[in-house]
Amino acid sequence: MALEQYIRDIVDFPKPGIIFKDITPLLASPEGTTECLQLLINSLNDVKIDKVIGVESRGFFFATLLAHHFKAGFIPVRKPNKLPFETISASYALEYGTDSLEIHIDAIHKGDKVLIHDDVLATGGTAKAVCELVEQLGGEIVQVNFLMELTFLNGREKIKEYPLFAAITY
């Protein structure tokens, strides 16, 4: 099954010149979701996983399914001021400025085997920031995986020291 059939292109969203990759048709399809989840699971080759991180917000969808499959804890990484407990944060560059992500300080323990999941690997800034948070808390990154990788943006370069998998590449 070609997962690309479930990804809808939205031209000029969120601004002119951008082609947004909409995953809602994939999420609406039980067959597509099952196929995608199985690809993500198979990419891990029976690696032990203690925690699965989902990156706000589209990373949450498959991260919770992966956590359930691996009998691991699910950890949300969110934009600032969205988590109720004490957090640490990491900043990353945007096209015009910076942004940051936060994680609870007790979400990961030293030596936890951590899978990071997000919907898309673009420039790599978000993924790199999440990797920094995991390592700051003492976690060991077993893989960083994505539904999609936009290879023309070279985001892989920012996280090349980690195992990486994308179910779809553009």
Residues contacting 38, CB < 8 A, separation 6+: none
Q: Which residue has the tokens 């010149």?
A: 17
C-alpha of 33 from chain center: 16
- Out of 78, 86, 95, 135, the active site residue is 95
- 92: which strand partners? 99
Q: Are 66 and 40 in contact (CB under 8 A)?
A: yes
Distances (CA, A) of 28 to 13, 24, 55, 91, 121: 21, 6, 20, 33, 22
CA angle 45, 48, 53 (to 5 degrees): 100
**Is 132 known to be catalytic?**
no
Q: Which residue has the tokens 């499959």?
A: 69
Q: Is 160 helix (H, G, I), strand (E, B) or coil?
A: coil
How far apart (Å, rounded) are the C-alpha atoms in residues 108 and 57?
Answer: 19
- Out of 8, 56, 58, 86, the active site residue is 58
**Is 58 known to be catalytic?**
yes
- Active centre residues (catalytic): 58, 95
